Structure 1
Amino acid sequence: HRAAGLHLKHGDEFSIVNEKSMFLFSQIKEAASMAAIESALATLGLNTAQIDGVFSILAGILHLSNIVFVEEENSEGTAAKIDSDSILHLKYAAECWGLEPHIIRNLLSKREVTTRGESYLVQYTPMEANFARDATCKSVYESLFSYIVKSVNRSLATAAGGSSANPTIDLSSAYFIGVLDIFGFENFTHNSFEQLLINYANEALQNTFNEQLFEKELQLFREENIDFSVSDCPTNKACVNLIAGRNNSIFKTLDSVSRQPKPSDERFCEELHKAYSLDKHFLGVHRKDMRSKFCIKHYAGDVTYNISSTSSATTSNSGTSGWISKNNDSVPDALVYLFTESKLPQFKALNGLNQSSTSVDLNSAANNIPARRKSVMMRPTIVAIFSKSMDDLNALLLSTSCQFVRCIKPNEAMLPGEFNNCYVMEQIRSLGILQACEVLKVSLPTRVSYATLKASLADVIKKVQHLFTGDSEVVLIACLLRAFSISPELYRLGRTMVFFRPGQLARLENILHHNSSNGGANGKEQANSDLIKAIEQS
């Protein structure tokens, strides 16, 4: 019933999805899946109207993605016009979002340009209208995703005793468990802008893995004078900096070229070869390809990126998508106007949830296009937004204690029952697993400071302290552990803390709760007396 009300039938009707990824509401299995999703949304605290609003917004995205533009000649030249076969999708998109069709039509057909304090309207070409349509779809979907995440946080905060009126969870001060399932490294025959973003994310997270597992661990061992032997620790910081460094990087070059008058993908590629030809992670290509390709030596392998679009990437509904165009794939200024004018409460609630949208004045101009502020800040590009997201994610990961699950493909063709030794070993080396195993040989996961041990046994320490006059603190701690019958093979003594091998957490807990685990004053006194004798014998 909901599908019919939203004018949805089959997934193969919509260009943004295919029949394999679209919910087919007529099938019982998919209906059960939809029921599970609705139940989950209800658990998050969304009422029936809000749930209906979520699906209505999604349906609007589907309909909007089906709008096709054709060329129309007018007094200003070539302009974009919505194809007659798409008018129904325009009507349905507006209906799903609680808007009048002409508001969406104006958003996708023209933009306001401000020059020297004067504003005027410029009509989109069909290609520009395609970009505006796609950017709007992505922005609304991103905002809806943020809306769902906020609902999850609100539900968790309330369940944890927080206030539903103030559901913000401060991850810097709250206990939380996070699961990050990332997209894998990609290396295809034709690698474009999207592959660079995905592979940069993998590079950045691999760098986090290196810092968590190697750098911090080995630095601690050095500071604590724990002997260890490990080969050179893997590092991919140089590659991360090449792609997204703050000063000179591929992303910075792309942004710089994107802001030039009449930017081109070929110019961007030429600038890369001029700037980074001496970088060991920027590999050379054939001279004839220097305007269309560049190659990066990633931790997982060498990847050649193509600047020029393939013929398959160019369609009548999407236009040619080059790197400059994709990087400048920014949200139309008037998108905020859609949110504020909507009669659908859930669509209104999306306003301000998209990090790539810009704030604009809502004073209506001709044809309902809002005027820009005169002092408009430069809008962030896609790579700028993506880099900021990765920086925030890495900062969060580095503030936590991470556990890593590394997935190894048994063969390149992903066939069952086939194990390619060379292919597997190449992955093991590139992921730093061999070096990780060397670090894990030391394997001292449980640590406690000498100060904590002494504080938990303060009464005992006072009575035996005189026995260790002139001795280092390490001698006292060693005798204390021996009194608890812990073999020296099960721990290592550092400068300020004890490092226990795996499986010794229970013994450590027994030490730290020695006083509280012996019931009554008499029991505590007897336990301390026995411990003092054991220390004296040590």
Structure 2
Amino acid sequence: MQHLLFIFRQQPTYSCKCDADLLLITLCTRTIQTHEGSIIKALDCASSAANRDALAKTVYARLLVENINKSVGQDLDSRMQIGVLDIYGFECFKFNSFEQFCINFSNEKLQQHFNEHVFKMEQEEYRNEEINWSYIEFIDNQDILDLIEKKPIGIISLLDEACMFPKSTHQTFSTKLFQNFQMHPRLEKVKFSETDFTMSHYAGKVTYQTDTFLDKNRDYIVVEHCNLLFSSKCRFISGLFSSLPEEASRSSYKFSSVASRFKQQLQALMETLKSTEPHYVRCVKPNSLNRPQKFENQSVLHQLRCGGVLEAVRISLAGYPTRRIYSEFIDRFGLLAPEFMDGSYDEKAVTERILQKSNLENYQLGRTKVFLRAGQIAVLDSRRIEVLDNAARLIQSHFRTFIAYKVFVVTRGAAITIQSYCRGCLARSIYEIRRQVASAILIQKHARKWLLRRAFLQVHSAVLIIQSSIRGFSVRHNFMHIKEHNAVVLIQAWWRRWKACSSFQHSRCAAISIQCTWRQKLARRELRRLRQAANDAGALRVAKNQLEKRLEDLTWRLTLEKIKGNQ
């Protein structure tokens, strides 16, 4: 009790925004309504935990399940609908509990709908229409559905009865189950267990463990929980519990069976499916390892046999999947034989004549419908489309002729008007061009005269300038020749003097370079001699450093002399 008090005093304001003390009282006590008044009873830890789980289930159902159901529900204003039902897969595990029982029950129900639609209703219609037909046997699973949902003795009824008694356990439920269905061919008792039972479904046998059947089937609606959350300060939470239960005045706890609700919802689904025209897509699991590129032949064949696919294929091959009422057939395909459509005619006879004219076989005429093999309706549709296309082409050809003639008349009138306007424009353009040509000739005559005179004057002036320039150039050329002769004599004298000085400098630099080279050679020879003669490492290092310094000085002097020589 103190542990629960700590939890709900710390966190309710962040989740539900309701009174913590009232939430604690709601979870840890139970109110019993009597004629004399209300009695409040304290709960133990196990009952409080169950009460807490009931609150969590109620919030989950209101928060998620109901909103999802509303969002995916049918629009009540729609006149037609197309629905896709993705059913559960048949489940059989090592441990199968209440969930697998409900899933397999829904599969049995949907398999029965498949049998009724594909086998029972199909063959019943052939019988009513007096069609020549050989009856095909199939496996009916009505007995196992009676075992599960029949009242008052059925598995769901016995489970609800056991849940209503507080002291019932899964052992008592299993015992009562075996007592009522001891001789039933679809239910067996497991040898080494007193509570497990095995059911023979259409897809195979499944062993169910009843340890948690009662706990998972119980679903209590507590009025105090609804009142508490309705008074929440959070608008979202209070909006979920806006509709209070009708049992508020009679009982604080209302037992609700999960299996019964599941059964009712499944029955509503089946009624919806019966009011529609279903089409089936059978999915086959290729292998039990969930791996690609692996196909287990025996497993696939077992699924096809259990699901009634082989019988459905036989009916589809031997039956007539396409059927039409005579009036609908004549309304659609009567244009294939218009010669038979007189004022008063027999629909059945006209239908037969249309089929004979179309050279179709393997059809049968029933009392009110015509039955066709697979693919024959496509042949009739193709021929109907061909007739309609030919009629459309004829109408289009006449219509195009009328449109083309009308366009031609309008185009011809427009062409005449455009031609007359164009001729007038051309005549005016030619006249204007001739006027411009005469004016241009006169202007050109005066322009050529002015240009020729201007060119003559320019040439005359250019000749005078050229003559004066040539005479000045000749005089300057003679003067420069004399001046250049005197400059050459002076330059030759200076060249001889500079050449003599340069040869002296080159000789001096060459002598210094030879001396430096010879001194370097002597220094290297002395260094080798000292290296061979010296035994002391320290003395050798000192001598080496001195010689290297001396060599560096000589190299520097040689470089300096070369630089001076180049200058």
TM (norm. structure 1) is: 0.64
Query: What does the per-residue CA deviation read over 1:290-323, in whole Å, with 9 as the maximum and x for residues that have no partner?
Result: 3x21111111111111123xxxxxxxxxxxxx32
Select the residue among 217, 220, 226 that pairs with 2:131: 226
Select the residue among 56, 59, 70 that pairs with 1:150: 70
**1:463 pairs with 2:334:** no
Given that 1:358 and 1:379 are in contact with CA atoms closer than 8 Å, whether structure 2 keeps it comes out as no
Are the structure 2 counterparts of residues 129 and 439 from structure 1 closer, same or farther at C-alpha, using a change threshold of 3 Å? farther
Q: Distance in 2 between matches of 1:106 and 1:505?
A: 71
Residue type of the partner of 1:142?
Answer: A
How many angstroms does 1:280 deviate by? Answer: 1.0
How many angstroms does 1:374 deviate by? Answer: 3.1
Paired position in structure 1 for 2:112: 207
Q: Secondary structure at the match of 2:41?
A: strand
Select the residue among 136, 144, 149 that pairs with 1:239: 144
Given that 1:203 and 1:299 are in contact with CA atoms closer than 8 Å, whether structure 2 keeps it comes out as yes
Q: Distance in 1 between matches of 2:19 and 2:102?
A: 36
How many angstroms does 1:412 deviate by? Answer: 2.1
After superposition, the CA RMSD in angstroms is 3.4
Select the residue among 470, 481, 500 that pairs with 2:372: 500
Paired position in structure 2 for 1:479: 353
Given that 2:155 and 2:177 are in contact with CA atoms closer than 8 Å, whether structure 1 keeps it comes out as yes
**1:82 pairs with 2:4:** yes
How many angstroms does 1:117 deviate by? Answer: 4.9
**1:121 pairs with 2:43:** no
Residue type of the partner of 2:223?
Answer: D
Q: Secondary structure at the match of 2:323?
A: strand
How many angstroms does 1:352 deviate by? Answer: 6.6
Q: Secondary structure at the match of 2:207?
A: strand
Are the structure 2 counterparts of residues 502 and 335 from structure 1 closer, same or farther at C-alpha, using a change threshold of 3 Å? farther
Q: Distance in 2 between matches of 1:146 and 1:486?
A: 57
Q: Secondary structure at the match of 1:233?
A: coil
Are the structure 2 counterparts of residues 447 and 186 from structure 1 closer, same or farther at C-alpha, using a change threshold of 3 Å? same
Are the structure 2 counterparts of residues 152 and 296 from structure 1 closer, same or farther at C-alpha, using a change threshold of 3 Å? closer
Q: Sequence identity of aligned pairs in percent?
A: 29
Paired position in structure 2 for 1:433: 309
**Number of residue pairs matched?**
390
Given that 2:8 and 2:20 are in contact with CA atoms closer than 8 Å, whether structure 1 keeps it comes out as no
Greater helix content: 2
Q: Distance in 2 between matches of 1:229 and 1:334?
A: 63
Residue type of the partner of 1:82?
Answer: L
Given that 2:54 and 2:220 are in contact with CA atoms closer than 8 Å, whether structure 1 keeps it comes out as yes
How many angstroms does 1:273 deviate by? Answer: 0.4
How many angstroms does 1:351 deviate by? Answer: 2.9
Q: Distance in 1 between matches of 2:98 and 2:282?
A: 25
Are the structure 2 counterparts of residues 453 and 425 from structure 1 closer, same or farther at C-alpha, using a change threshold of 3 Å? closer
Paired position in structure 1 for 2:477: none
How many angstroms does 1:263 deviate by? Answer: 1.7
Larger radius of gyration: 2
Q: Distance in 2 between matches of 1:376 and 1:445?
A: 57
Paired position in structure 2 for 1:390: 266
Are the structure 2 counterparts of residues 513 and 420 from structure 1 closer, same or farther at C-alpha, using a change threshold of 3 Å? closer
Given that 2:221 and 2:255 are in contact with CA atoms closer than 8 Å, whether structure 1 keeps it comes out as no
Matches within 5 A, 1:48-87: 81-82=3-4, 84=6
Q: Distance in 2 between matches of 1:329 and 1:269?
A: 20
Q: Distance in 2 between matches of 1:223 and 1:441?
A: 20
How many angstroms does 1:238 deviate by? Answer: 0.9
Matches within 5 A, 1:38-49: none
Residue type of the partner of 1:441?
Answer: L
Paired position in structure 2 for 1:297: 200
Gaps of 5+ in 1: 1-70, 73-80, 158-168, 309-321, 362-372, 524-538
Q: Secondary structure at the match of 2:95?
A: coil
Residue type of the partner of 2:193?
Answer: D
Q: Secondary structure at the match of 2:190?
A: coil
Q: Distance in 2 between matches of 1:516 and 1:133?
A: 71
Paired position in structure 1 for 2:82: 177
Paired position in structure 2 for 1:306: 209
Kindly indicate whether structure 1 or structure 2 has the higher relative contact order, using CA contacts under 8 Å at least 6 residues apart.
Answer: 1
How many angstroms does 1:274 deviate by? Answer: 0.4
**1:374 pairs with 2:250:** yes
Query: What does the per-residue CA deviation read over 1:498-522, in whole Å, with 9 as the maximum and x for residues that have no partner?
Result: 12334455566689999999979x9
Matches within 5 A, 1:1-16: none
Residue type of the partner of 2:105?
Answer: Y
Given that 1:330 and 1:382 are in contact with CA atoms closer than 8 Å, whether structure 2 keeps it comes out as no
Are the structure 2 counterparts of residues 293 and 513 from structure 1 closer, same or farther at C-alpha, using a change threshold of 3 Å? same
Are the structure 2 counterparts of residues 444 and 325 from structure 1 closer, same or farther at C-alpha, using a change threshold of 3 Å? same
How many angstroms does 1:254 deviate by? Answer: 1.2
Paired position in structure 2 for 1:359: 246
Select the residue among 238, 260, 264 that pairs with 1:348: 238
**1:323 pairs with 2:213:** yes
How many angstroms does 1:243 deviate by? Answer: 0.8
Paired position in structure 2 for 1:48: none
Are the structure 2 counterparts of residues 180 and 345 from structure 1 closer, same or farther at C-alpha, using a change threshold of 3 Å? farther
Residue type of the partner of 1:219?
Answer: E
Paired position in structure 1 for 2:478: none
Q: Distance in 2 between matches of 1:376 and 1:215?
A: 48
Q: Distance in 1 between matches of 2:50 and 2:154?
A: 26
Q: Secondary structure at the match of 1:349?
A: helix
Are the structure 2 counterparts of residues 188 and 478 from structure 1 closer, same or farther at C-alpha, using a change threshold of 3 Å? same
Q: Distance in 2 between matches of 1:509 and 1:346?
A: 57
Are the structure 2 counterparts of residues 224 and 402 from structure 1 closer, same or farther at C-alpha, using a change threshold of 3 Å? same
Query: What does the per-residue CA deviation read over 1:319-363, in whole Å, with 9 as the maximum and x for residues that have no partner?
Result: xxx32232222232223214421333333332378xxx94343xx
Q: Secondary structure at the match of 2:105?
A: helix
TM (norm. structure 2) is: 0.61
Query: What does the per-residue CA deviation read over 1:452-510, in whole Å, with 9 as the maximum and x for residues that have no partner?
Result: 335665997662757x7xxxx64432102334x25124x43222111233445556668
Q: Distance in 1 between matches of 2:148 and 2:234?
A: 42
Given that 1:285 and 1:294 are in contact with CA atoms closer than 8 Å, whether structure 2 keeps it comes out as yes
How many angstroms does 1:252 deviate by? Answer: 0.7
Paired position in structure 1 for 2:175: 270
